[in-house]
Structure 1
Amino acid sequence: MRFLVLLLWLFVAAILVFMVTQPVSLDTHFVTSMVIVVIIAILKMFDRKGALRAVVLALGTAVVLRYIYWRTFTTIPPVEELGNFIPGVLLYIAEMYSVVMLFLSLFVVADPLDRTRKVLSKDSPRPTVDVFVPSVNESPQLLATTLSAAKQMDYPADKLTVYLLDDGGTDERTESADPERAAAAQERRRELQQLARDLGVNYLTRSANINAKAGNLNNGLAHSTGEFVVVFDADHAPTRDFLTETLGYFYDDPRMFLVQTPHFFINPDPLEHNLETWNRMPSENEMFYGIIQKGLDKWNGTFFCGSAAVLRRTALEEVGGFSGRSITEDAETSVNLHAQGWNSAFVDRPMIAGLQPETFANFIGQRSRWCQGMMQILLLNSPLFKSGLSIPQRICYMSSMFYWLFPFSRLVFAFAPLFYLFFGLSIFDASGAEFAAYTVTYLLVNILMQNYLWNRVRWPFISELYETIQSVYLIRALGSVIVNPTKPTFKVTTKGETNRTSRISELGGPFYVIFFILTAGVVATIWRLIAQPFAADVTLVVGGWNLFNILLFGAALGVVAERRQLRSSQRVSIDRPAEIIYGDRVIPAKIDDVSIAGARILVPANVLRQIKPGEQIIMRFQPLSPLASNELPLTVRSVVRDEGGVALGSEFSVVDPRQYELVADLVFANSDEWVRFQNRRRKNIGAIRGIVEFLSLAVFQTVRGLSYLFTAAPGSRRGKESAPTSAQQTIAPAAKPEPPRSRYIGADPDAVVSSGAGSTAALHGVPVTRSANSRPDR
C-alpha cells in the first residue's frame, strides 16, 4: 500500500512539475493565480482537515512552484554584470532558503496528529517515577515552589521521588580558587540541602560541572532507579495531573521513550510585554506546541524540549544517557533515541507553568543558545546522514534545524531594496507587470496558506517580527558556531528581572541605525520617481518593499523600547473559598486571583475599617492536594472597596519552606486554568484583519520607539534591576503592593492597550515559514 501511495505521489508531482514549466502569458498566469487565491480564500471557511486540506496545500504549492520556475530562469542578473549578479544571487539564495523551509513545514504539518487523551485510571499500574529539577543559580524561593508542585503531583508517594540537581554547589565550585565564588557555592549548597530536607526531597550535586545540564541530568540518572524520569526546569512548576495525563501513553507502546507536553508561560516575553499583546494574541510558543509538535508527532518526530516531559529510563540507558555534545542536549538526545528505533509522543495539554526572559537582552541570550545548539547538532550529529532514522524523521529534524538559518535571509530581505534605491543596481530582473503577475500573487497565496495552517496560533506577520528582532544578533551567533561548532557553551537564561524605568534596551542601538538607513531609502525612492519617471514601476515596487521593511523594524523599535516592569510575577484568576483569621475573628473570604508573590482576597464590606495595610493575617483554605497544613500567613498591602465588598491586596509572608506547598497548590495545581487561558488567546482573526492589526501595531510602535530617544530619562536606558535575592528571584515579597484588581493572567494596571497583531506571511516575494521551530521553550 505504501508503495502504491508513493507511486501516486510521484505521478502527481510529475504532472505538477510539467504544468508549472509550461510557457504561458503574463495575463494567463495572473488570472489563473488569482483564481487559486479566491478558491483558497473560500476553502479557508470550511474544515481544515482531510481532503480539503490537501486541496488547499496542492493549489498553493502549484503557485509557489510556478514562482520558483519564473524566478530561477528569468530574473537573475547575468553573470557578466558582476555588480548586479552577486547581490542578486544572495537574494535568490535567501528566497530559495525560505521556499525550502516552506516545503519542509508543509510536510511536517500536512496532517497534524491529535492524540486521544489517555488518563490513568485508578486501577492502572503505577510505575516508579523520578523527578529531576536541575538548577544552577536559581533562588531557593523559586526552587521551593517548583519542588513543592512536583511533590504534590497526583501520584502514590511511595512511587514518586523528587530530586533537586544542584549544579551551583558542586565540589568544583565550592573548592574554587576564588574565595568569594567558593563561599557563595558553599552557602548555596547548605541552603539548598536544608530546603530539600524541609520539603522532603532529595538533594544531589556532583564533583564538577561537566557537560552542563546534560551532565547534571546524567548524575541524577546515576543516583536514581525509577522506571521513568520526569524533567522540570527550575521555573517550570507542574500541575497535579501531569503524571496521570502522560504515563498512559507508555502502556500502549513498549518502545515509547518520550512523552513531551507544551511549555506554558505565565509571563510575557519582551515582545508581548513591550507591545502589550500578552492577553489578546497567541504567544510565540503556541505555534510550535499547538501545530508543529503535532505535525512532528505524526511522523514519530516529536523531540524532547528540555522540560515538561517523561522519559523511559531503559531508553536513556541504551544511548548512554542525555547527550552532552551540543548545548541543546534535549533535541540531540532525541535524535540518538529515534535513530535506535525508539518512539515519541506529544500531548497537547499545558501542565506546567514557567517563566520567559523579561528583558530583550536575556531573550536574545536564550535564542542565541537555541540557535547555536541546533546548528551544533546539524554539524556534529546531522540527522540527514544518521543511520536508523526514517526519511520523515530526517525531514522533521532538518526542518527544525534549518529554521535557525533565518538570520541570513531576514537581513538579506531587509537590505536588498537599498541596492537599487541607493546604487541603481538591478538585482531582481523583472518589470512592474511581471512583479504583479508573479510575485504579488505568490505573496497572496503565501499569506492565505499560512493563515490557513496557523490561523489560531499565529497572526499575520508576527513570525516575521520575531525573526527580525532576533536576526541582528543571531547572525553573529550563527557565524560563530559555523566557524567552530564545538566552541559554544551552555549559559543559563536569566529570568525574573524587572525594569524600574522605561528605557531603550542596551541591545537596541542597531535597530535604530537600521531603521534610519531604511528611512533614507524612502527619500531615495522619491528622488528616483522624480529623476527617473521612465522606471516608476520598478521604483514603486522596490520602494513598497522597503516600506514594509520599515514597518517591521519600526515594530522592532517598540520591542527594544522596554516598558517599565515592576512586577516579578504574574497573577492568575481563580475562584476558591477561604477564610481570613484576623486576631480572634474568622472572616469568610474568596480568593480572587493569585501569583507566586501574593493574592487578592474578597471579604465582606464590614471589615473595611478594621483590617489595615501592613497588618498580618492568616488565610485558611482547602488545598487540592493532601497537605499537612491549610493556613498561609499574609501581609496586607492594600484595602479597597470592590463590588459591594472589600478586596485585600496581600503578599505571602512565608516563614517555613513547607508553606510553599500551599503557594504551589493555589497557583499551579489545576491545569484547567492554563487550558482556559490558552484557549482565550487562540483565536483566528483572519488574514485581512490580521494585516490591518499588524499595520496599526507597526505604526504605533514606530512612534513609541522613536519617542524613547527623547523621553527616556538620563541613565534609565540601563535601569534594569534584578529581584533582590538573585537574578531568578520571583517569589520573594514584592516591594510594591499589587494593584487592587485583575481578572486575567498577566494584567498590567499601567498598560495602555494598543491595537496590534502579528502573523506568518511573506516578506518581499518570499514565503516566511514561521517562528514555528524556534522552540520557545528551553
Structure 2
Amino acid sequence: MTTLDSRPPTYTPGQPGPFDTDVLTAEAPDPPADPDAAFSRRLAAAEAARAPALQRSTRAPRNPGVGVRTQSPSLVMLVLIATLGILAYASFLLNPESRGDWLPYTMVIIAEMILIVQALLSMWTILSGTHDPREFGFHQAKSALFDEGAVGSPNDRLYLDGRPIFVDVFITTYGEDIDVIRRTVDAALRIRGEHTTWILDDGHSDDVRDLASELGARYVRRLSSGGAKAGNVNHALSLSSVDYFAIFDADFVPSEEFLVETVPFFSDEHVAFVQTPQTYGNLHNVISRGAGYMQAVFYRFIQPGRNRFNAAFCVGTNVVFRRTAINDIGGIYTDSKSEDVWTSLMLHERGWRTIFIPMTLAIGAAPDTVEAYTKQQLRWATGGFEILLRHNPLSPKRKLTLDQRLQYLVTASFYLTGISPLLLLLVPPLEIFFDLRPVDLQTTVLTWVLFYAGFYLVQILLAFYTMGSFRWETLMLAAASFPIYVAALVNVLVGKEQRWSATGDKSKASSPFNFMIPQVLFFVFLLLTSVVAIWRDLGNGVPTLAMAWNVTNTFILGSFVVAAMRESSRQRQNSKARRVTAESPRTARSPRKAALTS
C-alpha cells in the first residue's frame, strides 16, 4: 500500500508556519528575525564543537566562489614530510637486516604494508585536492537560479538554462525517533527553492504519517522493505517524475541554502550528483566523537581530492541527483547495503561526472552507541569488500579511467586497515610468551622508535594540523574495530546477507556488550599478558619494547571497554527513568482524592 497526500501548502514569509522552529534542537524558540543567520550561528556552533580547523574550512560561504580552499604550502610540506616518513618506515621494514622471527615479522609486514599503501594513496589524493569544482558555468547558473523579483521566498521557482526545474527532497526513515524526524522534515520544508518534501517511511509508523500530515509533507509507505534504503528511494522515484531529487537521512537537518549551493552544478549536463559532507552536531560522548572525527579528514581532504579524478562518491545523504543519470543505471543500486558507493561506481562506469563540495549544508548525528557504530561500520565495510571481491575495479571489464580504478581500489580495500590492528595486537604476546621478535635482535630500540615515529608521529602531526587536535577517541575506535571488519570480510566471502538497520534507530537499544564480545575477550587476554610482561621485566631488571607495546594496547582497548560500561550504565538509568515515568500515572492520585483520604 502506498499513501500519498497532496503537495505541501505554500508559505508566506512573515506569517506563522513550518519555518518558524529551531532546526537543531528539539525545543522551538521564538522565530528569529533572520532564519538564515540563525542557522549559520547554530552551524558554526556545531562545527566549533567538532574541530576548530574544520570550522574554518567548511562553513557555508556568503560570497560566490569562496569556500573551497586550495591546499596551503604548510599542508603540502607536511604531506611531503609524512610521505618521506612512510617511505623510510617501509624501507626499514623491508630491509633484510631488520628481519626477525618469521611469524611476527610476517604479521607486521602484512599489517604495516596495508597501512603504508593506504597512507601513500591518501597523501596523493590530498595533494590533488586543489581543484575548485565551481567553474564559470556554476556561477552563471547560480546568478540565474531564481526568477528576478521573486528572490526571498522559500518557494521560489528554480531555473537552469532559462527553464524551470522541479526538485523532490526525499527523507528516508526507518524507526528513528519522531522528534528527530520532525526537525529534519521541518528544515527540509524551509529549503530555498520550490520543491516537494517527501517522507519515505520504511518503518511503517502511523506517528510518522501523522507528522507528515501535520507539517505538510508527502508521505509514502511501502508494502514491503525490499532493497532497504535503495528500494525505498526507487519506490518513491516510481511515483515521481521530477528533474532532480535530494536525499537526506532522517537525522540530517539541511540548511536553507542546500539547493542554492548544489543545483547550479547541474548546468553541466554530464553531472550525475552533487555530494556535500556529513557534519555531526552530537559529539557528546567517546563513541560519537571517535566516529565523527574518524570521518573528518575524509570529508575535508580525501573527497575534494577525488574531484580531480572524477571519483568522488555518494555517501547516501546530503546529496542531490539528476534523475536521468539514475535512470541510466536502472535506479539506485539495490544489491548491497552500501547502495551509495555502488551507485556512484555504476554512474562512473557509464561516464557520468560527480562533484563533492566541502561545504557543510546539513548537520546530522554520528553513531553514539556501540551498537549504532558497529552496525554502521559493518554496513560500510561490507560494501567495500563487495566491490573488492565481486567487482574488482582493476578488471579490464570495468569502464573506468586509471585514476578512477585506483581510487575505487583504495575505497574497496580501505577497511583492510581496520583488520591490521588485529595482527599488530598479537605481535607483543608472541615475544612475551614465545620469545619471537618481529625485528632482528641487533636492531636497537632507538632505531625502531625513530623509524616507527617517522611513520606514526608524523601522521599525528598531520592530524593536529588538519583537525586542530589529535583525537584519542579515533585511535581507540580504530584499534577496537577489527572484529567488525573481520565479520564484514567473512560475510562477503560466504555470501551472508546483512540485515539493514538505520544508524539513528534507538527503538530497540541493546547492551553494548552484546556487540563487543571479541573486544572484551581480547582486553582480558592483553591485560593478563601485560601482567606477565611486567613481572618478567621486573625479574630481568630491563624494560622491553614488547611490554610497553602490549601495555599501550591494553590501555587503548580498555578505554573502549570503559566507554561501553559507561554506556551500559546510562542505559540502565534511562530504562529505570522510563519505568518510573510509565508507572507514575497508575500510582498518582488526583488532588481531590488525596484530600478525601487525608
TM over 0.5: yes
Q: Name the counterpart of 1:552.
A: 556
Matched, 1:243 2:259: yes
Letter in 1 for 2:106: V
Work out whether residues 153 and 242 of structure 1, in 8 Å CA contact, stay in contact via their aligned partners in 2: yes
Correspondence for 1:256 among 251, 271, 281: 271
Letter in 2 for 1:95: E
- Once the two structures are superposed, the pairs formed by residues 433-448 of structure 1 within 5 Å of their partners are 433=444, 435-448=445-458
Alpha-carbon distance between aligned partners in 1 of 2:127 and 2:307, rounded to the nearest angstrom = 12
Matched, 1:72 2:80: no
For the structure 1 residues 271 and 199, does the alpha-carbon distance in structure 2 shift closer, same or farther, using more than 3 Å as the test? same
- Once the two structures are superposed, the pairs formed by residues 609-624 of structure 1 within 5 Å of their partners are none
1:83-123 deviation digits (Å, cap 9, x = unpaired)? x4334312221111111111121122123246366673344
359-368 or 61-70, which deviates more: 61-70
Deviation (angstroms), 1:53: 5.2
Correspondence for 1:393 among 404, 410, 415: 404
Q: Name the counterpart of 1:149.
A: 187
Work out whether residues 196 and 202 of structure 1, in 8 Å CA contact, stay in contact via their aligned partners in 2: yes
Matched, 1:111 2:146: no
Letter in 1 for 2:109: Y
Report the 3-state secondary structure (helix = DSSP H, G, I; strand = E; otherwise coil) of the residue aligned with 1:522: helix
Q: Name the counterpart of 1:208.
A: 224
Report the 3-state secondary structure (helix = DSSP H, G, I; strand = E; otherwise coil) of the residue aligned with 1:283: helix
Alpha-carbon distance between aligned partners in 1 of 2:301 and 2:252, rounded to the nearest angstrom = 22
Alpha-carbon distance between aligned partners in 2 of 1:196 and 1:522, rounded to the nearest angstrom = 57
Deviation (angstroms), 1:430: 4.2
Alpha-carbon distance between aligned partners in 2 of 1:116 and 1:447, rounded to the nearest angstrom = 33
For the structure 1 residues 271 and 343, does the alpha-carbon distance in structure 2 shift closer, same or farther, using more than 3 Å as the test? same
1:250-303 deviation digits (Å, cap 9, x = unpaired)? 22x211111111112222365256xxx69xx97333222122211222322111
370-379 or 311-320, which deviates more: 370-379
Alpha-carbon distance between aligned partners in 1 of 2:577 and 2:410, rounded to the nearest angstrom = 38
For the structure 1 residues 372 and 245, does the alpha-carbon distance in structure 2 shift closer, same or farther, using more than 3 Å as the test? same
For the structure 1 residues 207 and 271, does the alpha-carbon distance in structure 2 shift closer, same or farther, using more than 3 Å as the test? same
Correspondence for 2:434 among 416, 423, 427: 423
Matched, 1:525 2:560: no
- Once the two structures are superposed, the pairs formed by residues 220-299 of structure 1 within 5 Å of their partners are 220-251=236-267, 253-268=268-283, 270-271=285-286, 283-299=293-309
Deviation (angstroms), 1:332: 0.2
Alpha-carbon distance between aligned partners in 2 of 1:723 and 1:238, rounded to the nearest angstrom = 32
Matched, 1:381 2:391: yes
467-476 or 359-368, which deviates more: 467-476
Deviation (angstroms), 1:522: 3.4
Correspondence for 2:201 among 166, 180, 194: 166
Alpha-carbon distance between aligned partners in 1 of 2:192 and 2:572, rounded to the nearest angstrom = 45
Q: Name the counterpart of 2:491.
A: 480
Work out whether residues 48 and 452 of structure 1, in 8 Å CA contact, stay in contact via their aligned partners in 2: no
Correspondence for 1:61 among 55, 61, 83: 83
1:613-636 deviation digits (Å, cap 9, x = unpaired)? xxxxxxxxxxxxxxxxxxxxxxxx
Letter in 1 for 2:181: L
Letter in 1 for 2:486: I
Q: Name the counterpart of 2:50.
A: none
Letter in 2 for 1:211: G
Alpha-carbon distance between aligned partners in 1 of 2:232 and 2:524, rounded to the nearest angstrom = 47
Q: Name the counterpart of 2:348.
A: 338
Work out whether residues 270 and 363 of structure 1, in 8 Å CA contact, stay in contact via their aligned partners in 2: no
For the structure 1 residues 65 and 315, does the alpha-carbon distance in structure 2 shift closer, same or farther, using more than 3 Å as the test? same
Report the 3-state secondary structure (helix = DSSP H, G, I; strand = E; otherwise coil) of the residue aligned with 1:246: helix
Letter in 1 for 2:434: F
Report the 3-state secondary structure (helix = DSSP H, G, I; strand = E; otherwise coil) of the residue aligned with 1:437: helix
For the structure 1 residues 723 and 300, does the alpha-carbon distance in structure 2 shift closer, same or farther, using more than 3 Å as the test? farther
Q: Name the counterpart of 1:135.
A: 173
Deviation (angstroms), 1:418: 0.7
1:410-436 deviation digits (Å, cap 9, x = unpaired)? 111112101001221233334342x42
Letter in 1 for 2:487: R
For the structure 1 residues 463 and 283, does the alpha-carbon distance in structure 2 shift closer, same or farther, using more than 3 Å as the test? closer
For the structure 1 residues 128 and 262, does the alpha-carbon distance in structure 2 shift closer, same or farther, using more than 3 Å as the test? same
Work out whether residues 88 and 454 of structure 2, in 8 Å CA contact, stay in contact via their aligned partners in 1: no
Matched, 1:541 2:557: no
Alpha-carbon distance between aligned partners in 1 of 2:81 and 2:366, rounded to the nearest angstrom = 39
Work out whether residues 185 and 197 of structure 2, in 8 Å CA contact, stay in contact via their aligned partners in 1: yes
Q: Name the counterpart of 2:334.
A: 324
Q: Name the counterpart of 1:101.
A: 118
Work out whether residues 292 and 366 of structure 2, in 8 Å CA contact, stay in contact via their aligned partners in 1: no
For the structure 1 residues 258 and 451, does the alpha-carbon distance in structure 2 shift closer, same or farther, using more than 3 Å as the test? farther
Larger strand percent: 1
Identity of aligned residues (%): 26
Report the 3-state secondary structure (helix = DSSP H, G, I; strand = E; otherwise coil) of the residue aligned with 1:155: coil
For the structure 1 residues 324 and 721, does the alpha-carbon distance in structure 2 shift closer, same or farther, using more than 3 Å as the test? farther
Deviation (angstroms), 1:192: 4.4
Correspondence for 2:499 among 489, 501, 517: 489
Work out whether residues 270 and 352 of structure 2, in 8 Å CA contact, stay in contact via their aligned partners in 1: yes
Report the 3-state secondary structure (helix = DSSP H, G, I; strand = E; otherwise coil) of the residue aligned with 2:258: coil
For the structure 1 residues 722 and 451, does the alpha-carbon distance in structure 2 shift closer, same or farther, using more than 3 Å as the test? farther
Report the 3-state secondary structure (helix = DSSP H, G, I; strand = E; otherwise coil) of the residue aligned with 1:208: coil
Alignment: residue pair count: 488
1:362-417 deviation digits (Å, cap 9, x = unpaired)? 22122111111221222222323252212222222222221212332111111210
Deviation (angstroms), 1:330: 0.6
Q: Name the counterpart of 2:54.
A: none
Which of structures 1 and 2 has the bigger CA Rg? 1
Alpha-carbon distance between aligned partners in 2 of 1:75 and 1:271, rounded to the nearest angstrom = 42
Deviation (angstroms), 1:530: 5.3
Compute the TM-score of the two structures, normalised by the length of structure 2: 0.73
Letter in 2 for 1:358: D
1:702-729 deviation digits (Å, cap 9, x = unpaired)? xxxxxxxxxx6xxx875564998xxxxx
Q: Which runs of 5+ in 2 are unaligned?
A: 1-68, 148-158, 579-598
For the structure 1 residues 436 and 482, does the alpha-carbon distance in structure 2 shift closer, same or farther, using more than 3 Å as the test? farther
Deviation (angstroms), 1:313: 0.7
For the structure 1 residues 512 and 207, does the alpha-carbon distance in structure 2 shift closer, same or farther, using more than 3 Å as the test? closer
Work out whether residues 130 and 230 of structure 1, in 8 Å CA contact, stay in contact via their aligned partners in 2: yes
Alpha-carbon distance between aligned partners in 2 of 1:91 and 1:432, rounded to the nearest angstrom = 15
Letter in 2 for 1:246: T
Work out whether residues 191 and 255 of structure 2, in 8 Å CA contact, stay in contact via their aligned partners in 1: yes
Q: Name the counterpart of 1:4.
A: none
Q: Name the counterpart of 1:562.
A: 566
Compute the TM-score of the two structures, normalised by the length of structure 1: 0.57
Work out whether residues 335 and 383 of structure 1, in 8 Å CA contact, stay in contact via their aligned partners in 2: no
Work out whether residues 318 and 362 of structure 2, in 8 Å CA contact, stay in contact via their aligned partners in 1: yes
Alpha-carbon distance between aligned partners in 2 of 1:264 and 1:532, rounded to the nearest angstrom = 51
Work out whether residues 381 and 485 of structure 2, in 8 Å CA contact, stay in contact via their aligned partners in 1: yes
Report the 3-state secondary structure (helix = DSSP H, G, I; strand = E; otherwise coil) of the residue aligned with 1:353: strand
Alpha-carbon distance between aligned partners in 1 of 2:279 and 2:92, rounded to the nearest angstrom = 43
Report the 3-state secondary structure (helix = DSSP H, G, I; strand = E; otherwise coil) of the residue aligned with 1:311: strand
Query: RMSD of the alignment, in Å?
Result: 3.4
Report the 3-state secondary structure (helix = DSSP H, G, I; strand = E; otherwise coil) of the residue aligned with 2:481: helix
1:536-557 deviation digits (Å, cap 9, x = unpaired)? 5xx6222222232123123323
Work out whether residues 358 and 497 of structure 1, in 8 Å CA contact, stay in contact via their aligned partners in 2: no
Work out whether residues 76 and 92 of structure 1, in 8 Å CA contact, stay in contact via their aligned partners in 2: no
Report the 3-state secondary structure (helix = DSSP H, G, I; strand = E; otherwise coil) of the residue aligned with 1:561: helix
For the structure 1 residues 722 and 306, does the alpha-carbon distance in structure 2 shift closer, same or farther, using more than 3 Å as the test? farther
